[in-house]
Amino acid sequence: MQGLSHANIVNIIGYGSDGSVKKPSGREIKNLVYILLEYVTGGLLFDLCQTLGGMGEDDGRFFLSQMCDALEYIQAKGVVHRDLKLENILVDDLMNLKIADFGFATYKKINKLNSYRGTMTYMAPEIKEGKTYDGKQIDMFSTGVILFIIVQGIFPFKEAKKDEYFYNLILKGQLDTYWSKVGGQNLTAEFKDLILKMFSYDGSKRPTVSELRSHPWMQKPIDMKKSRQSILERLHEIRSAKTADSSRESAHSRGDPMLELVRDCSVSGLERFRFND
């Protein structure tokens, strides 16, 4: 990560091997390796998706355009991530994505990899089958899973295996059944075309970042400022509603015994509640 610096990546501020920690007992541990990372306010993309649910295609384009910027940058640097998922992407207070956790990333022979890396539900089929794989292609597969969740609010399948029910429907071309099962009947034909290309069993048939940008679905006009504001407003509305519900529940949970503490009382009567300080 040392050589990476981009607006959509959690950047390294510094690192070293001369760190030290002093324990409460007074004992000091020296020569610790440390990494200082950029601080990102906001939280995980996973939490955002969990709060808002399916955000729809416009918001999908908003976030995918940022993913494209990040992927284009790291690939130009000869790096692949290999563990892209909602839990490894942060969002700041302005809904800017920040890809984190490059623990499985590599820059060596990225088009001929064979290590078993990634997270089950985001992992491309060629990794599961122990095949040699292209790092760019497996990152594209994981990005497809992320996009699907942002748009629909659910995972597209449990894992990309031939014997997994939902992924098998895609492989067999039973697409009407698949879209019905995942509640995607009303998704546009352009989105369906793009996402199925990203989920291709054959990695070479998945789009490159350049092809992703030029796809008809991504070519639809999007007002980034308006989309950002819309997401922020919905998030604020949901959080405010949850806070209000929590306050009401807290008030009700006090019950009748707490009412003993709330009563009419004259000023002189308050003297008996005075603290002895």
Helical segments of 77-134, H only: 125-128
Active site residue 83: yes
Residue 198: count of CB within 10 angstroms of its CB:
23
Instruction: Determine the Cα–Cα distance for residues 180 and 240; give it in Å rounded to an integer.
Output: 33
CB 154 within 8 A of CB 183: yes
Tokens representing 177 are 């059944």
User: Please, what sign has the CA dihedral across residues 237, 240, 242, 248?
Assistant: negative
Instruction: Determine the Cα–Cα distance for residues 71 and 73; give it in Å rounded to an integer.
Output: 5
Which residue in 47, 59, 83, 139 is the catalytic one?
Answer: 83
Active-site residues, by number, are 83
